[in-house]
Chains A and B, each alone.
Chain A
Amino acid sequence: MGVPVAHVPTVTGERPGRLSRMLRPLAFMSLPTSVLVLLFLVPMGILVYFSFQYGDLTGQSGFTLTNFSDILSDPLYREIAWTTFQIATIAMIAQLIVGIPLAYVLAYKAGRFELPLLLALVLADELNPMVRIYAWRMLLGREGLINEALMSIGLINVPIDALLFNKFSVIVVLSTSYLTYTVIPIYASMKAVDAGLFEAARDMGAGWFTTFRRVLLPLIAPGIFIALLLVYVPLFTDFAAPTLVGGTTGYMLGNVVSDLVLENGNLNAGAAMSFLMLLAAGLFSLVAYQLSRVRQGAR
């Protein structure tokens, strides 16, 4: 809260005068804050403004809600939104299924391999996402390495086309792209859990699943919510992976925005779509954040 802080001892040692008390935050904060206002808040404001505007070739423009009603009433967009939801949700669940046990291994089992594995996860994230998409395409394609290998050992006669250019390949690429951000928050929340609790649970006769569900899961819930915040939201807006490995069935909302803005040059519709996605993302983040706090408070 913006409470004036007259009696907080400051770093300078001497009692700063009123002027210096105002100047010191300015000296440090004015530059970063101006950058944020000018290049983040103003552009976002213009984006929202544009989503409520129409502009046609005759140069006329003004306030309108049609950008939104067009999007919301279009069955094609609804279908793409549903596809996007499916892909993002399956990719998220897949990451949690792999990520929670992996975080567990890292936190409690890895021993001297803990730090190298952690570094490997960070490194995986630092690798260029385009390079990764490209590598997967090379593996999954009709003449890709997986098909070639399966055919050369005689397991299949015709290449499997179902590996690339569909929802499956998008899910594979997206799951592997964000895994670092799923594992690390969960790992971090596990590090804070006292491992003695597991023994206590076992001594009281709980099996591993009960221990997981009743002891570990409630304690790492905040970490899981942070992972959702960091991963689930960007999954909805990704458009490089669906363009490059999605084919026609893996077309997502991010592609809609990109096509509206860059192919059709319809900035107003693109802005409206972005604004709707931003609202959804904001709402989801708020809920996830609140849930993570409720969970923590309940302990």
Chain B
Amino acid sequence: MPLSRRIQRALPNALSIGLTGLVMVILFGPVMLLALFSFNDSTVISLPWEGFTTKWYSEALNDDGAMTAIGNSVMVASIVTVVSLILGTLASWGLTRIPFRGRPLVAGVHGAVLVVPWLIIGVAGLIFFSQIQMMLSLQTIILMHIVVTFPLVVAVVSAGLIRFNPSLEEAAIDMGASQLQMMRYIVLPQIAPSLAAAAIFAFAWSFNNFEISFFTGGFEQTFPVWVYGVLRHSSNLPVVNAASTVIALAQVLLVFALWYGMKLMTRRRGGTDRDAADLVTGAVR
């Protein structure tokens, strides 16, 4: 084969690899450098490398602001995840399995929450709570996080419910199962991977949410609000660096753990990894 032809053949592959590599570097490179420099023995994050240290981690551990903010975020996100899973599962069952008057309208409102920008929801929440004279605190953050997060669970779990055939449920009832038994033994196992995917998204949405926490938190800080505050008033704090690295690492581990859990669950049901991936990407569609 002539060389020009061989280059022509190989070029698309080289371009594909180059593009993918570039995107991955742009997406993850900065955060990896951040992690690397959290071990640098210098108050400014820059070259040259001054030596290895873990002192920024012990400083972060003793930093009240950082620890409180992380604790707050973990608590808020955990509560929001549990409540959103409950509300979201109820609503997705109602919206996919029970025909009722006004269902398109109710479904529409669930969808509308997902497209209204969080900045505007945050401002609306701030004005709302000031009108009903409820003090801004972690509680108000939790309330507003729930209302933007559970419709996401509805989207993910509904997608799961639509994929799976209701005749199984009817068969279970015909064979004498109670509603509760049908839910427990037929529906729950089928939607378990969707629930796991929904849990990943719900936790991340709440944990990463900045706008709503910023407007409806009053003097209470979540992790993103804390980082924002520190960055706004000073620059290059190695403590933020260390705390951010820990958070990023925890998020990576969490996503991987849940991903493997989901893969196991779909495989046990005879599904493929493809199905598990569909669940994850289905949420974005």
Contacts and interface: CB of A to CB of B under 8 A. Distances in A.
Interface string B141-179: 001101100110010000000000010011001100001
A180 to B, nearest CB: 7
A127 B125 CA distance: 25
Interface string B253-269: 00100010000000000
What interface size band does chain B fall in? Answer: 35 or more
The 9 lowest CB-CB distance pairs between A and B, nearest first, are A28-B94, A135-B30, A25-B100, A43-B128, A32-B91, A237-B117, A43-B124, A130-B227, A39-B147
Contacts, number: 280
A206 to B, nearest CB: 16
Interface stretch (A59-67, A75-83, A115-123, A211-219): A115-123
25 contacts: A2-B104, A10-B98, A29-B95, A32-B91, A35-B146, A39-B125, A39-B143, A39-B146, A41-B109, A120-B27, A121-B27, A123-B251, A123-B255, A128-B244, A130-B210, A130-B227, A135-B30, A137-B235, A181-B284, A185-B284, A237-B120, A240-B210, A274-B124, A281-B115, A281-B117
Interface residues of A, number: 99
Given A32-B87, A131-B227, A126 B131 contact: no
A247 interface: no
A123 B128 CA distance: 34
A139 B98 contact: no
Interface string B211-240: 100110000000110011001100110001
Contacts of A278: 116-117, 120
Contacts of B121: 40, 43-44
A149 B37 CA distance: 14
**SS of B interface (majority):** helix
**SS of A interface (majority):** helix
B135 interface: no
B16 A138 contact: no
B127 A226 contact: no
Contact of B23 (A98, A132, A139, A187): A98
Contacts of B51: none
A33 interface: yes
Nearest to B90: A28
A2 B103 contact: yes
Contacts of A33: 91, 106, 109
Nearest to A122: B280
Contacts of B252: 123, 127
Contacts of B104: 1-2
A47 B120 contact: yes
Contacts of A244: 228, 231-232
